[in-house]
């Protein structure tokens, strides 16, 4: 590209299922690059592999991108001067370009049956040579080719790959990456169903849509020399490439479903904030050059550059995501958390009394939550009496004396004039002193009695939020068990 061109970048997912966190990162880096450079962010749907299409995937993708806050400038449903933005609506363009290559003899039809190709591969394996198409159909006499085509013989279109050439991709992250053409096979560019393969459709569209920078995952690096050849055959200039590092599991294997969730949808459903997930994926391969880790989307736009994207694989660490979510959650006003948790509490059949009560619960829990899901795991007791008491905590915090101790406390709490943190603390400490035990013994026993678990906000805060009536009722129930 020439220096003065305004950057145009694209996110080009195939609608084969849920958006993967790796896909979100690719979308994000393209978005950030566009926003930072005053360029344009295009969304293009690459749906030419008809066998892999999943129904509803495009809708889901659009929903997920909207949720993440990554707004595109041109794309399906949005328009722009380079549409349509869905490849299956651009088939005429691929046909035209196929013909250009065929006319220039840079592509040829191949009629070989799968059995023949299979046999050929077996022979090559036996002879220990790298599997490569033997160009059987390239050697067919032209009359034979015309005859087969006229008869409607099933075929694919192959693109020729020249011998003994070094193809160089200019990559913003990796520098010059060289490929030896001898290691590449001739490539199928149109399948027997008439649809173009990824290579043809991707290059034709990147060119026709004026894409200046191709920012995508490292898994596409091996396709790049094939694309460079296509650009050459068409006489087009090659865009600038940037291949993003692989995402890895903690054991450095390629990120996979087996070791945890990989779909953005799953994190969304688990109650993670889009701000946190975006912050998290931003750091998978990029860093600001200093110790900062918490960024809003606007801050990322300001800080992002491809120069600060590394080459080596980025480890996907869910604990880091949890931590970031906690940081972003803390920054949210109580009212917006309230609006987020209300529907899920209602859906779970939990009665949160009223907004004022729920707001108090949120204030008490806010610093302890790493996701909205935690609310259901660790805050349930604010909405219903414990049905049982955590076994381990029971063994640890309830002793033979606990029934008596909690009993005395109960009778004092029935009459304490004010049910505030201060007076509760005074009452507990006074009782502990009288009994000659540490306040901790009473605190732990009471916490378990009123919440059923052993973790949560400070006991006095917890009790004031619950209110006197609830606390007394729960203490009575626990005493029945404690004896
Ligand atoms: N359709 C490809 C994908 O699913 C796009 C790869 C590219 O960006 O060139 O990721």
CATH number, domain containing residue 477: 1.10.10.350
Do residue 231 and residue 104 come from a single domain?
Answer: yes
Taking only the tens place, the pLDDT of each residue in 53-102 is 899 999 999 999 999 999 999 999 999 999 999 999 999 999 999 999 99
- What span, in angstroms and rounded, lies between the C-alpha atoms of 190 and 110? 10
Residue 35 is assigned to a structural domain of this protein: yes
* Last residue within a domain, chosen from 244, 261, 283: 244
Among 83-97, 279-293, 362-376, 446-460, the minimum mean pLDDT is found in: 362-376
Taking only the tens place, the pLDDT of each residue in 384-441 is 999 999 999 999 999 999 999 999 999 999 999 999 999 999 999 999 999 999 999 9
> From the candidates 122, 144, 254, 257, which is the catalytic residue?
257
Do residue 234 and residue 105 come from a single domain?
Answer: yes
Nearest atom of ligand 1 to the alpha carbon of 223: 9
Do residue 234 and residue 99 come from a single domain?
Answer: yes
Q: Say if residue 119's pLDDT is above 70.
A: yes
Here the tokens at position 238 are: 């090659």
372, 362 contact by CB (below 8 A): no
Give residue 363's pLDDT band: very low, low, confident or very high (50, 70, 90). Answer: very high
CATH number, domain containing residue 39: 3.40.50.620
This prediction's pTM: 0.84
Do residue 263 and residue 177 come from a single domain?
Answer: no
Nearest atom of ligand 1 to the alpha carbon of 202: 9
202 Cα: distance to centroid of ligand 1 (angstroms): 8
The three state secondary structure string of 455-472 is CCCCHHHHHHHHCHHHHH
- Residues lining ligand 1, CB < 6 A? 12-14, 46, 202, 216, 220
Residue nearest to atom 2 of ligand 1 (CA): 13
Is residue 122 part of the annotated active site? The answer reads no
10 Cα: distance to centroid of ligand 1 (angstroms): 10
Residue 117 is assigned to a structural domain of this protein: yes
Do residue 114 and residue 232 come from a single domain?
Answer: yes
Do residue 120 and residue 234 come from a single domain?
Answer: yes
Do residue 124 and residue 261 come from a single domain?
Answer: no
Taking only the tens place, the pLDDT of each residue in 13-52 is 999 989 999 999 999 999 999 999 999 999 999 999 988 9
Taking only the tens place, the pLDDT of each residue in 431-478 is 999 999 999 999 999 999 999 999 999 999 999 999 999 999 999 999
Residue nearest to atom 5 of ligand 1 (CA): 12
Structural domain that includes position 8: 1-76+245-331
Do residue 30 and residue 100 come from a single domain?
Answer: no
**pLDDT recorded at residue 1:** 46
Q: Say if residue 2's pLDDT is above 60.
A: no
List of residues 6+ apart from 225 with CB closer than 8 A: 167, 169, 179, 181, 184
Do residue 413 and residue 470 come from a single domain?
Answer: yes
Mutate to test the pocket of ligand 1, among 8, 13, 23, 206 (most ligand atoms within 8 A of CB): 13
**pLDDT recorded at residue 3:** 52
């Amino acid at each position: 590209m020439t220096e003065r061109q305004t950057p145009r970048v694209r996110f080009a997912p195939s609608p084969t299922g849920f958006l993967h966190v790796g896909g979100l990162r690719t979308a994000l880096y393209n978005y950030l690059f566009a926003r930072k450079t005053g360029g344009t962010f295009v969304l293009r749907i690459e749906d030419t592999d008809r066998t892999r299409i999943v129904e509803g995937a495009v809708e889901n993708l659009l929903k997920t991108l909207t949720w993440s806050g990554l707004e595109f400038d041109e794309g399906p449903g949005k328009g722009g001067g380079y549409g349509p933005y869905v490849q299956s609506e651009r088939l005429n363009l691929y046909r035209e370009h196929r013909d250009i290559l065929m006319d220039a003899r840079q592509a040829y039809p191949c009629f070989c049956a799968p059995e023949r190709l299979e046999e050929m591969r077996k022979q090559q394996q036996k002879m220990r040579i790298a599997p490569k198409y033997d160009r059987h159909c390239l050697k067919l006499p032209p009359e034979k080719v015309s005859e087969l085509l006229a008869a409607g013989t099933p075929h694919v279109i192959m693109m020729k790959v020249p011998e003994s050439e070094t193809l160089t991709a200019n990559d913003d992250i990796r520098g010059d990456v060289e490929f030896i053409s001898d290691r590449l096979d001739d490539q199928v560019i149109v399948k027997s169903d008439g649809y173009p393969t990824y290579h043809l459709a991707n290059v034709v569209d990147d060119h026709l849509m004026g894409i200046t920078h191709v920012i995508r995952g490292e898994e596409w690096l091996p396709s790049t020399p094939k694309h460079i050849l296509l650009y050459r055959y068409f006489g087009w200039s090659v865009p600038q490439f940037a291949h993003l590092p692989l995402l890895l599991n903690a054991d450095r294997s390629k990120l996979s479903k087996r070791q945890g969730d990989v779909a953005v949808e799953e994190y969304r459903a688990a109650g993670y904030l889009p701000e946190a997930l975006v912050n998290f994926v931003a750091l998978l391969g990029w860093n600001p050059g200093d110790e900062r880790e918490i960024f809003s989307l606007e801050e990322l736009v300001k800080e992002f550059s491809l120069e600060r994207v590394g080459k080596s694989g980025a480890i996907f660490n869910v604990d880091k995501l949890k931590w970031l979510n906690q940081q972003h959650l803390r920054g949210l006003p109580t009212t917006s958390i309230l609006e987020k948790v209300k529907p899920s509490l209602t859906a779970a059949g939990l009665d949160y009394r009223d907004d004022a009560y729920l707001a108090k619960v949120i204030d008490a829990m806010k610093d302890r939550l790493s996701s909205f899901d935690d609310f259901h795991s660790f805050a349930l007791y604010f909405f219903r009496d414990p049905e049982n008491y955590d076994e381990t905590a029971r063994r640890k915090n309830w002793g033979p004396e606990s029934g008596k101790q909690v009993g005395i406390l109960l009778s004092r709490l029935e009459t304490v004039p004010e049910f505030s943190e201060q007076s509760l603390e005074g009452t507990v400490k006074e009782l502990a002193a009288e009994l000659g035990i540490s306040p901790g013994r009473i605190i732990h026993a009471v916490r378990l009695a009123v919440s059923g678990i052993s973790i949560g906000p400070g006991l006095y805060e917890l009790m004031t939020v619950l209110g006197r009536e609830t606390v007394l009722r729960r203490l009575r129930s626990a005493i029945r068990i404690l004896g």
